[in-house]
Amino acid sequence: MATGVVWPLALSLVVGAIGLFATKMIKSRLIFYKLKKQGLPMPPWSFAAGHLMTLPPLLEKLPLGSQQSDAFSLLSCDFVDTDGCFYVDVWPFGNSLLVITSPELAVQACQKYDLPKPEVLVPFFAPIAGGPNLFVMNGAEWKRSRALFNTGFSEKGMLECMPHVLEEAEVYVSILREHARKGDTFSLDKITCDYMMDVIGAVTINARLHSQSRHNELAAALRSSLEWHFQEEEMNPFKRWNPIRPIVEWNNGRIMNRYINFELEKRYKAWKSNNHTLTKSVMDIAIETYMKERKTSDKLDSRFKTWATTQIRLFLFAGHDSTAAAIVYSLHMLFKHPKTLAKIRAEHDNVLGGDLDSAAQVLKQHPHYINQLPYTTAVIKETLRLFPPASGMRGGLPGVFLQDKNGHKFPTENLSLWIVHSAIQRNPNYWPDPHSFLPERWLVEPGHPLHPPKGGWRPFEYGPRNCVGQTLAMLDIKVTLAMMVREFDVKDQYDEWDRMHPTTGIKTVYGERAYQVPQGAAHPVHGFPCKVSFREKGNAA
């Protein structure tokens, strides 16, 4: 009896799943059939496979595990007549895409039309943030949410957080000193992620996580989810849809929510007991702003707490992950270019005192000095140009067409617009010598051949939806370089890594061994194995 019911039910489910798959496939393919008939730019396409057959030959030109965006950057070279803009059908591994690799078209998508964030981002960010968040919200909901955090992430607010940043930076430097004494090889990316987690914890929720020195369940849960989540770019379906993954992500989310909820209640109680004033962490400012028009109660409003927990999870992710990678790449670029290293050390000597370890004390007394380091800022911006932590995504709309400098028009309806930052920021039509590390680009006047193109630098996006935390990120990176580069020398150990892990095949992207891989934000492959040594006094570079 039971068997007689189960088999028809199972068959119905299978037929339904096949029908749903076929319906979605036909819908996606018809979009591209119409685009192709209009003569719009795209690689060779078929109704059965879309553009899936285009990807393997591209991936063969890149190291195993590198970013898919690098493959699309290579593909953009085939579409120079349309300024690198083209359509790609990668269903069922992703949405129908309009790929954008030029500053002009990116400005149209993100500023002129301010296109919405697409629905496809919601499930992508769900395991990280746990719900609707600033990154995926649109319209009035986004404006209300952004307004609650603007003050907390302002330049003035971030300078007030300087003691927190310096406190964690001193722990980071002490760890580097220990590695310098031992002379061992270690992952710079790993310890920098721990460091930035401690910084963003202090700045965002006013709590010391101590993840640099011991286990912290909030930090561990977030990093675990990121380690599982980067498989979004995995083409192997058995890895991409591992059944264990949602269980791990659910448990990590439970741990993060519990931890943040406790901290929220603690800060709310502190707000009540201090006559409705608090020290100015981002969480404190959000609580104060929210409570201005509400009556005080014994506990924080549950709806606000749920909403705030989601935003804080997003901030913890974005505030530590991409910033850590930017710090590692900034150090890598400096120590690959001795002349640049000598210039930045000279700037730090001039502004922060001549002693190798004077930065922390000077910045404690004069935090605004951090904004008097133009060459350091140029180094960071050039590093982020070459190694942006992510790309942008927008959703197309009916009647919205982008237009390139040659007059070609590109419909956006029913498409996700993938704004590939790495391709835009290395586009040779806009950046002279695009693959070279030239901090001077950021110090020349408009009209100079090296001067950056409008809308061409997008690590924090550009326009109304730019990153709310970019001031904090730049502060963190500048403080770290000020504390580090005069005391230490850093040397990557990829030669040692390759000897210990021999493989065949391509090992560089754009000639760079420390190429980017997707692990939340884009991080240096293998965690950037390196050795740190003490710089000898009197050594200019």
Helix (H) or strand (E) holding 524: strand 521-524
Contact 124, 452 (CB under 8 A): no
Q: Cis omega before residue 464 (within 30°)?
A: no
CA distance linking residue 284 with residue 204, whole number of Å: 8
Alpha carbon 209 to its chain's center? 21
Rounded to whole angstroms, how far apart are CA atoms 422 and 426?
Answer: 6
Burial 13-52 (b: 16+ CB within 10 A, else e): eeeeeeeeeeeeeeebbebbeebbeeebbbbebeeeebbb
Task: Please report the sign of the dihedral spanned by the C-alpha atoms of residue 63, residue 65, residue 71, residue 74.
Answer: negative
Label residues 455-484 b or e (16+ Cβ within 10 Å = b): bbbbbbbbeebebbbebbbbbbbbbbbbbb
Residue 243 phi/psi, 5° resolution? -65, -20
β-pairing, 416-419 with 392-395? antiparallel
* Amino acid at site 174: S
Q: How far apart are CA 95 and CA 232, in angstroms?
A: 13
Residue reference for tokens 């950056």: 452
Q: Would you state the structure tokens that stand for residue 467, as one six-digit string? A: 């990153």
Residues whose CB falls within 8 Å of the CB of residue 71, separated by 6 or more in sequence, listed in order: 55, 58, 59, 61, 62
467 belongs to an annotated ligand binding site: yes
Annotated binding site: 467
Annotated binding site for heme: 467
